[in-house]
Amino acid sequence: MEHSIVDLLYGFGIALQPGNLMWSFFGVLVGNLIGVLPGMGALTTISMLLPLTYVIAPVPAILMLAGIFYGSQYGGAIGVILLNLPSHPPHAVTCLDGYPLTQRGKGGSALGITMMCSFFAASVGILVMIFLSPLLVSVAFKFGPPELFAIMLMGLVAGATMSRGSPLKGIAMTLFGLVCGVVGTDPTSGAMRYTFGLPELSDGVDLGALCMGLFGVADFLSSINRTHMQPTTARVRMSEMRPSWAEIKQSFKPMLRGTFIGTLFGAMPGTGPTITTFIAYAFERKVSRTPERFGKGAIEGVAAPEAASHSKTQVDFIPTMSLGIPGDAVMALLLGALIIKGVQPGPQLITEHPDIFWGLIASFWIGNVLLVLLNVPLIGVWVRLLQVPYRFLYPAALFFIAVGVYSTHNSLFEVGEVAVFGVIGAVFLALKFPVSPIVLGFVLGPMLEQNFRRSMLLERGDLGALVTRPICATFLSISALLILVQFVSFVRARIRAGQERRNDGKNSRETIRQDSLAEVREAVARHQGH
């Protein structure tokens, strides 16, 4: 521990150098602003600023790109809570409760809880990187394709049972996401699958296009005929941006659980942040005594996924830098930036480039403090976005969505994808189908398929070998338990509904009998009167 503290102090000396501090501040500021804008995100911004890394030194280049990454996490949460527009896929699940809180006039409290959970989770993630990095790296080596397949399966099962309403609808949406995820070129045979003869789909459906369509455009299409909708004119004061003590107490345990889930999945190579937020939300809904509140503005539905996202963001650098295995597309870009600067990620990175590793860890803390200081005065600006009339807000948001999607690959076809998924999402919303499980199925579908194929190659087609591996068997058991719990809940609901129908039938028969007796008494009374 003493050695780690000395290394951390060395990292602060690197990160606090004026040039490095300037680039770190630039990164978190740009990331924060870009994260708020609908249609923009860390992936787009890092892609556009990647050429800038050619003309600056390795340390400030990595600090800037990392600042954009976790800065966009803060900004993305603001856009989700205030405008229901997830510019970063992991924030998609925050839409379920963040936006309803804003509609109930509690957007400021939701943002305050988000800032609190984000800073706490990021700090825990940083501490994990400092003190447990060697241990987590050794654990990460134990996760082969069978273990990763079991994790993906557990994530899909949790996603299918996470949504409100009918579990069958949740399963249907997860399967729809799986189908969308396998569109494109088969990684094994090279054959084209489900492309309908369109060469533009050879690389698959774009994740950003799918998210912007399902959550941005679909919401606009669902609201376009609501002429009674008026922009809010309420001013959110600084005191309203501070959550109450009751809200903090209500969010504390979800924050701890979300942080633990994010830290756990951050150490696993090849798992993106989207699965982490969905599992954190699903777990929080399962342990809640009032799960019916989720999706209607439960503060726990904001605290848990946001804590998981930020702790995952920090810990995700361990497999990326120590093993060279990125967790998602953004981490892959950061990995590419390291290689561009002549830095080879791997177990030797800490010893060969301590200035980059420890400077980056120290910059995380500095950057998160800067983000808190930036967002306290700027949250009022984001809240005022709600005062913009919808007739101006919708076209502007659609413009940013189109620009953000087009700028990623300079493809008008992907803009068309946004429109198609917007119409599909609007239809699903009209039919009361949850759209959030689609994203989870889309992200995990290809990973589930690839890891299953690799597992079968390793085990020579023996499915039984999967349950003989301890880690794999544990996650498969959790998946089976989730299915069992859902089945038991379904059976209990059917039994309860049957009992209510029988009780209603008895009450109806009793009412009819009482009415008949009353009619007979009235007839007898009339006869006696005559």
Q: Specify the pLDDT at position 275.
A: 75
Residue 346 has pLDDT above 70, yes or no: no
- In our burial notation (b when 16+ CB lie closer than 10 A, e otherwise), range 401-418 reads bbbbbbebeebeebbebb
Structure tokens at 254: 């979800």
Q: Cβ(448)–Cβ(182) under 8 Å?
A: no
Residue 491 has pLDDT above 50, yes or no: yes
Residue 47 has pLDDT above 70, yes or no: no
Residue 340 has pLDDT above 80, yes or no: no
d(CA 246, CA 94): 20
Q: 291 versus 87: which is more confidently predicted?
A: 291
Q: How confident is the model at residue 137 (pLDDT cuts 50, 70, 90)?
A: low
d(CA 499, CA 45): 57
Residue 198 has pLDDT above 70, yes or no: yes
Q: Specify the pLDDT at position 527.
A: 64
- Residue-averaged pLDDT of the chain: 76
Q: How confident is the model at residue 445 (pLDDT cuts 50, 70, 90)?
A: confident
Share of the chain above pLDDT 70, in %: 75
d(CA 530, CA 525): 9
d(CA 199, CA 222): 31
Least confident of 3-17, 68-82, 224-238, 253-267: 224-238
Q: Specify the pLDDT at position 77.
A: 77
Share of the chain above pLDDT 90, in %: 0
Q: What is the mean pLDDT of residues 275-288?
A: 83
Q: What is the mean pLDDT of residues 431-436?
A: 80
Q: Specify the pLDDT at position 515.
A: 64
Q: Specify the pLDDT at position 406.
A: 78
Helices 42-49 + 58-83 axis angle, to 10: 150
Q: Specify the pLDDT at position 221.
A: 78
Q: What is the mean pLDDT of residues 426-454?
A: 81
Q: Cβ(169)–Cβ(177) under 8 Å?
A: no
Return the bridge partners of 192, or none: 185
Within 13 A of 497's CA, how many CA atoms are on the CB side?
6
Q: How confident is the model at residue 206 (pLDDT cuts 50, 70, 90)?
A: confident
Residue 136 has pLDDT above 60, yes or no: no
Structure tokens at 329: 């597309």
Q: Specify the pLDDT at position 223.
A: 67
Structure tokens at 224: 């376009």
Q: Specify the pLDDT at position 382.
A: 61
Most confident of 11-20, 224-233, 429-438: 11-20
Residue 228 has pLDDT above 50, yes or no: no
Q: Look at residues 425, 433, 442, 435 and name the one whose alpha carbon lies nearest to residue 156.
A: 442
Q: Specify the pLDDT at position 430.
A: 85
Q: pTM for this structure?
A: 0.60
Contacts of 205 (CB under 8 A, 6+ apart): 180, 181, 183, 184, 417, 442
Q: Which helix (H) or strand (E) holds 62?
A: helix 58-83
Residue 39 has pLDDT above 60, yes or no: no
Q: Specify the pLDDT at position 323.
A: 61
**320's torsion region: left (phi>0), alpha (psi -120 to 50) or beta?**
alpha
Residue 233 has pLDDT above 50, yes or no: no
Least confident of 8-17, 395-404, 418-427: 395-404
Q: Cβ(41)–Cβ(4) under 8 Å?
A: no
Q: Specify the pLDDT at position 326.
A: 59
Most confident of 136-140, 182-186, 235-239: 182-186
d(CA 365, CA 438): 34
Q: What is the mean pLDDT of residues 465-473?
A: 82
Residue 234 has pLDDT above 50, yes or no: no
CA distances from 197 to 194, 201, 271, 416, 514 (A): 8, 8, 31, 16, 69
Q: Specify the pLDDT at position 227.
A: 46
Residue 263 has pLDDT above 50, yes or no: yes
Contacts of 108 (CB under 8 A, 6+ apart): 236, 237, 240, 241, 242, 379, 383
Q: 280 versus 188: which is more confidently predicted?
A: 280
